Chains A and B, each alone.
Chain A
Amino acid sequence: MNKVTKTIIRYEWASFIRNKFQLLLLVIIFLFAMYAIYYGTSVINTQLKTITEVQKIEADEFHQYQVSFDEELNSVDAKRKKDIASNPSYAWFRHGYHTVLPPHKYAALAIGQRDLHPYYHRLTGMSLYYQLFENEISNPVKLYVGNFDLSFVIIYLVPLLIIAFTFGLYSIEEESGVLALLRIQSISIRKIMLVRLMFYFMLITGSALLISLIGLLVSGNLFADENLLAALGWLAGVILYSAFWFSLMFLIISFLKNSAFNAICAAGCWLLFLLVIPAVLNVWMVAKFPIDTTHLAELTRRTGLENENDEKEQVEVLSEFLEYNPQYKASDSLFHNNKYAKVYAAFTTLKDNHSKKDVDAYNRQIEKRNQWVKQFLWINPAVNMQDTFALILKTDLNTFLSYQSALSKFHKNINTFYFDRLFWDKPITQDDYSKRPVFKIENSNERWNQVLYSFLEIIFISSLFGILGFMKMKKTTH
């Protein structure tokens, strides 16, 4: 750093701390950020509390079943309990397993779609789709305006700060007559502008990083294995996103227009990136890929046999079921013991088989939408960054889709566990309880490639604006 650069930075600092308005803005953003961290944390804590409650409900339920084996069967109630615990013809649709999608430690910083999709389910052996689609309670007005979390502060408010601090870097000098003095210096105007931009870049990015660090420290241990990469990804994202806005401002300044023009231009870009482009894409997408959920509604209907006493219907259902599940064919007791339970189990399984294609078609349509939108993401670093934050903190749509597919697998395991006992007429023993199916979500690290790719896209756009600004300024100042 040479002497001139140092001098510029010193003077910039002096003028910055004298400017009450700018300091005030910085303080306001800081306060907003603190509120955002508080709000995000409170949302995630509520979810964690719900998850704990839900897990307790499951633990209590299975505890009851397990102790019923040791209790004396001297009352109707005790007998009933033991039946539900040990007789697969009750157990398969009574035993409720709770699956949860626990939030990432840092989910509070970017709530993403976590407020919109259910993050816990109670599953029994009954039809999967019957149990899949219920939503969490939420106020639609709140969903509509969205979350005031830290990602909102970074994505929406930090750019405003950048605009407010830099739109007049050139024009105000000109308007106040200082420019003429600068021109007679040996250093080029472009260099002065770059140094000053760099100063504000350090200042604002530094503040954004500080805010982020506070958020990260409040939400979880920074150095835990699963957190470190996410934290680094977040911080890198903050730097890149801030760099993007600075390069855009540099481009705008390089036109050497007056302050009002710069302010209008910058506000226009802000509006374009944060509102107009995504809003247009959203409606365009809906018109291009309409999604019809009315077919899915049918899946939530509770159905059963037309007539439970109709022998013919029972045989039909069981035979069809056995075609898909030949492993039970050898059980000679199929048509004798516990027939109602078996037929009903077969019926709901078949129903799932039939419904699967509707659900798959629905998921494919969502996938198509996503693919289509992805090709536009690179144009818009704001949406790209928001998506990436959600991706890093596992609050994005894909996390929920993979949670749902993990749910389907788990539901199959539940079915296998109970049906193996139901169709072979074996009771559930106390030992079996340790072999119960357990819900697992596989941790995939695929998202990091995507994160990297998005970062590269943002770097590309930022460099493009930076270079354009650099060239433009060279031309105009010479």
Chain B
Amino acid sequence: MKTSILIAKKEIKIALREKLVLALSCIILVLLGISLYTGVVAYKQQQETITNAQVEKREEWLGQGDKHPHIAAHFGTFIFKPKTVLSLFDFGLDTYTGTSVYLEAHYQHQFMFRPAQDHSSMIRFGELSSALVLQILMPLLIIFLAYASFTKEKERGTLRLLSSQGITLTSVAWGKIIAYFIMLLAILVPFALSVLLISYWLETPDTVTDLGIRIVLLGATYMVYIFIFIVLSVLVSLKSSVSRNALLTLLTCWILFTIIIPKTIANFGESLYPLPSMKIYKEAILKDKENGLERKTPKAERMARLEKELLAKHKVDSVQQLPFNFEGVMMQAGEEYGDKVYDVHWGRLLNIFHKQNKLGSYSSLVNPYMALRNISMGLSATDLSTSIDFQKKVENYRRSFIKKMNNDMAQNSKYGEFYEYSVGLDMWKSVEDFSYKTPSIYTTLKKYTIELIALLCWVIILISLLNYSTRKTKLTNE
């Protein structure tokens, strides 16, 4: 251990003399700075826009005047997807998920306005977020730092000198790993602290649950990722005969990990589990609402049955004699059946998404970048599962406020009257404003079990491989 620390000290000294490494570290620092700055600016802009819009829509809802509750249910309201504060660190899928949705009776509208649609095709090259810098550029710095860690010693013959002093290869390797890890932590830790400070300093609605734990876990995951790349680089260097080969192998891995595998897997998933087109999807929902699920209970039949049941239950022979407005009850029954149909179709759609993305999760077993990317999005609450959770909560909100409108219509208005009946501000106020909280950290982590296991496996396998190789490699054969 002592020798390892000694070696680490020497490595740091040498690395600091390398202009290339220093230059790249500076570039990474500058890019981290830029990304953090633009992240904060974009977050504040969008948060403000969304908060204002949400307040405006709430005022519109409250100020809509006196009207029939069902007209109000069609007037509806809008929900805008709030930015989570950690999106200033990892944009995740925010650019590609819709930002606003219109809530009204009978229809589940889709989220509209994906921010990527306001861009030219350059957006497909990616956006500079701090997460991107740490996920893609940082490994490159590690490769440049460590590709020659052993090959250089071999080329100069210093490795044999070391071993003649009785120092084992294992302690040399760990000395180097410690050195690189400390240097990268010197970049990472101050950065993580500034993210922590900024996210607390920004006055934000507390959309994100367990913010502190999320940031700490983010820091830890990134550390593990960096550690994996360091050990991998040192291992490749140990196994290569010359620096050039070590570098080429590592660069190939890097490009496979960060560019080629993620894209191939996602495209592959789409080919394997095709999605329906919006037109066909919506048409199928409409048809099922009209004819009943599996065409078993057409709408007219459902309504007739409901009428019969209610008449029998209240022992009257016409709907006018019922102690409530039958139209309101019918409206709510239609709504509930529509929800049931929607849940079936939406569930199928989500299932396809899930299958497509599962391939990505499994690929993290061979690609640490995928593991980190998914976990990072999850912790930053910019991933698909948070987005779906948001959509579900919005849909539940829609259902509850429509139900309120229908119940009021059933209880307080008379059969056959429409424009004659109206409610006002008290009713509108009784519908609470929508506010969103992300799922708890535990729920989020559970979605990424495979990725977490993958990272763990990478660490264990790489460490064992390194220890095995350092013990097996015979210097005299070099």
- Per DSSP, chain A at the interface is helix
Chain A residues 109 to 129 lying within 8 A of chain B, measured CB to CB, are 112-113, 116-118, 120, 122
A139 and B119 contacting across the interface, CB-CB below 8 Å: no
Taking A137-B281, A145-B266, A306-B65 as given, write out 17 further A-B residue pairs in contact, using a Cβ cutoff of 8 Å, ordered by the A residue number: A42-B271, A46-B277, A112-B121, A118-B278, A122-B279, A140-B96, A140-B387, A143-B96, A145-B263, A148-B264, A260-B244, A267-B140, A271-B137, A283-B127, A297-B113, A302-B74, A373-B120
Check if A134 is an interface residue, CB within 8 A of chain B: yes
A264 and B20 contacting across the interface, CB-CB below 8 Å: yes
A370 and B120 contacting across the interface, CB-CB below 8 Å: yes
Known interface pairs A137-B349, A141-B384; A156-B259 also in contact (CB < 8 Å): yes
Across the interface, B126 reaches (CB within 8 A) one of A42, A172, A261, A279, namely A279
Please name the residue on chain A nearest to B97 by beta carbon: A140
For A122, the chain B residues whose CB sits under 8 A away are: 279
Check if A53 is an interface residue, CB within 8 A of chain B: yes
Contact digits for A252-277, partner B, Cβ 8 Å, 1 yes 0 no: 00000001110110010001001110
Check if B337 is an interface residue, CB within 8 A of chain A: no
B34 and A144 contacting across the interface, CB-CB below 8 Å: no
Check if A146 is an interface residue, CB within 8 A of chain B: yes
Known interface pairs A143-B116, A264-B20, A276-B128; A46-B80 also in contact (CB < 8 Å): no
For B102, the chain A residues whose CB sits under 8 A away are: 297, 300-301
Check if B67 is an interface residue, CB within 8 A of chain A: yes
> A42 to B122, alpha carbons, bound, how many Å?
23
For A135, the chain B residues whose CB sits under 8 A away are: 98, 110-112, 114, 278
Chain B contributes a number of interface residues (CB within 8 A of A) equal to 92
B97 and A263 contacting across the interface, CB-CB below 8 Å: no
Known interface pairs A53-B279, A143-B116; A278-B122 also in contact (CB < 8 Å): yes
Please name the residue on chain B nearest to A143 by beta carbon: B96
A279 and B128 contacting across the interface, CB-CB below 8 Å: yes
A300 and B112 contacting across the interface, CB-CB below 8 Å: yes
Known interface pairs A279-B132, A287-B41; A296-B122 also in contact (CB < 8 Å): no
A148 and B38 contacting across the interface, CB-CB below 8 Å: no
For A144, the chain B residues whose CB sits under 8 A away are: 93, 95-96
B125 and A282 contacting across the interface, CB-CB below 8 Å: yes
Across the interface, B121 reaches (CB within 8 A) one of A157, A369, A386, namely A386
Please name the residue on chain A nearest to B258 by beta carbon: A275
Please name the residue on chain A nearest to B147 by beta carbon: A260
For B281, the chain A residues whose CB sits under 8 A away are: 137
Check if B185 is an interface residue, CB within 8 A of chain A: no
Known interface pairs A54-B279, A369-B119; A142-B356 also in contact (CB < 8 Å): yes
A145 and B275 contacting across the interface, CB-CB below 8 Å: no
A152 and B114 contacting across the interface, CB-CB below 8 Å: no
Chain A contributes a number of interface residues (CB within 8 A of B) equal to 90
Smallest distance from the beta carbon of A130 to chain B beta carbons, Å?
Answer: 10
> A203 to B349, alpha carbons, bound, how many Å?
46
For A396, the chain B residues whose CB sits under 8 A away are: 120-121
Smallest distance from the beta carbon of A7 to chain B beta carbons, Å?
Answer: 27
For B115, the chain A residues whose CB sits under 8 A away are: 286, 291, 293
Check if B307 is an interface residue, CB within 8 A of chain A: no
B109 and A286 contacting across the interface, CB-CB below 8 Å: no
Check if A90 is an interface residue, CB within 8 A of chain B: no
Please name the residue on chain B nearest to A40 by beta carbon: B267
Smallest distance from the beta carbon of B104 to chain A beta carbons, Å?
Answer: 6
For A285, the chain B residues whose CB sits under 8 A away are: 119
> A168 to B129, alpha carbons, bound, how many Å?
34
A387 and B266 contacting across the interface, CB-CB below 8 Å: no
B137 and A283 contacting across the interface, CB-CB below 8 Å: no
Please name the residue on chain A nearest to B113 by beta carbon: A293
Known interface pairs A134-B110, A143-B116, A287-B38; A263-B128 also in contact (CB < 8 Å): no
> A133 to B78, alpha carbons, bound, how many Å?
15
For A309, the chain B residues whose CB sits under 8 A away are: 419
Check if B84 is an interface residue, CB within 8 A of chain A: no
Check if B417 is an interface residue, CB within 8 A of chain A: no
Across the interface, A142 reaches (CB within 8 A) one of B39, B117, B269, namely B269
For A260, the chain B residues whose CB sits under 8 A away are: 147-148, 243-244, 247
B41 and A39 contacting across the interface, CB-CB below 8 Å: no
19 chain-A/chain-B pairs, Cβ below 8 angstroms: A46-B277, A135-B112, A137-B349, A140-B97, A141-B360, A157-B260, A263-B247, A264-B20, A267-B140, A276-B31, A286-B115, A290-B42, A291-B118, A294-B78, A297-B113, A298-B78, A301-B78, A302-B74, A302-B76
Known interface pairs A39-B267, A142-B267, A148-B267; A297-B100 also in contact (CB < 8 Å): yes
Check if B191 is an interface residue, CB within 8 A of chain A: no
Smallest distance from the beta carbon of B22 to chain A beta carbons, Å?
Answer: 13
- Per DSSP, chain B at the interface is helix
Interface centre among A57, A146, A294 (most CB of B within 10 A): A294
Check if B136 is an interface residue, CB within 8 A of chain A: yes
Known interface pairs A297-B53, A369-B119; A137-B125 also in contact (CB < 8 Å): no
A282 and B128 contacting across the interface, CB-CB below 8 Å: yes
A282 and B122 contacting across the interface, CB-CB below 8 Å: yes
Please name the residue on chain A nearest to B152 by beta carbon: A260
Check if A317 is an interface residue, CB within 8 A of chain B: no
Known interface pairs A283-B42, A297-B100; A140-B93 also in contact (CB < 8 Å): yes
Known interface pairs A140-B387, A260-B243, A294-B100; A152-B38 also in contact (CB < 8 Å): no
Across the interface, B125 reaches (CB within 8 A) one of A42, A139, A275, A308, namely A275
Check if B270 is an interface residue, CB within 8 A of chain A: yes
Check if B248 is an interface residue, CB within 8 A of chain A: yes
Interface centre among A122, A135, A145, A164 (most CB of B within 10 A): A145
Across the interface, B266 reaches (CB within 8 A) one of A142, A369, A370, namely A142
Check if A16 is an interface residue, CB within 8 A of chain B: no
> A117 to B113, alpha carbons, bound, how many Å?
10
Across the interface, B118 reaches (CB within 8 A) one of A54, A275, A276, A369, namely A369
> A308 to B418, alpha carbons, bound, how many Å?
11
Check if A222 is an interface residue, CB within 8 A of chain B: no
Chain B residues 12 to 46 lying within 8 A of chain A, measured CB to CB, are 20, 31, 34-35, 38-39, 41-42, 45-46
Known interface pairs A140-B387, A302-B104, A390-B121; A280-B128 also in contact (CB < 8 Å): yes
For B303, the chain A residues whose CB sits under 8 A away are: none
> A203 to B222, alpha carbons, bound, how many Å?
41
Smallest distance from the beta carbon of B404 to chain A beta carbons, Å?
Answer: 19
Check if A193 is an interface residue, CB within 8 A of chain B: no
B278 and A136 contacting across the interface, CB-CB below 8 Å: yes
Check if B123 is an interface residue, CB within 8 A of chain A: yes
For B136, the chain A residues whose CB sits under 8 A away are: 275
Check if A307 is an interface residue, CB within 8 A of chain B: yes
Check if A366 is an interface residue, CB within 8 A of chain B: yes
Sorted nearest first, the 10 A-B pairs with minimum C-beta distance are A278-B125, A294-B53, A279-B128, A293-B113, A297-B100, A283-B38, A143-B96, A140-B96, A50-B277, A148-B267
Check if A147 is an interface residue, CB within 8 A of chain B: yes
Check if A359 is an interface residue, CB within 8 A of chain B: no
Check if A292 is an interface residue, CB within 8 A of chain B: yes
Chain A residues 373 to 411 lying within 8 A of chain B, measured CB to CB, are 373, 382-383, 386-387, 390, 395-397
Check if A138 is an interface residue, CB within 8 A of chain B: yes
Contact digits for B368-394, partner A, Cβ 8 Å, 1 yes 0 no: 000000000000000010010000000
Check if A160 is an interface residue, CB within 8 A of chain B: yes
Known interface pairs A136-B278, A369-B118; A296-B125 also in contact (CB < 8 Å): no
A274 and B125 contacting across the interface, CB-CB below 8 Å: yes
Smallest distance from the beta carbon of A87 to chain B beta carbons, Å?
Answer: 23
Smallest distance from the beta carbon of B130 to chain A beta carbons, Å?
Answer: 11
> A267 to B251, alpha carbons, bound, how many Å?
8
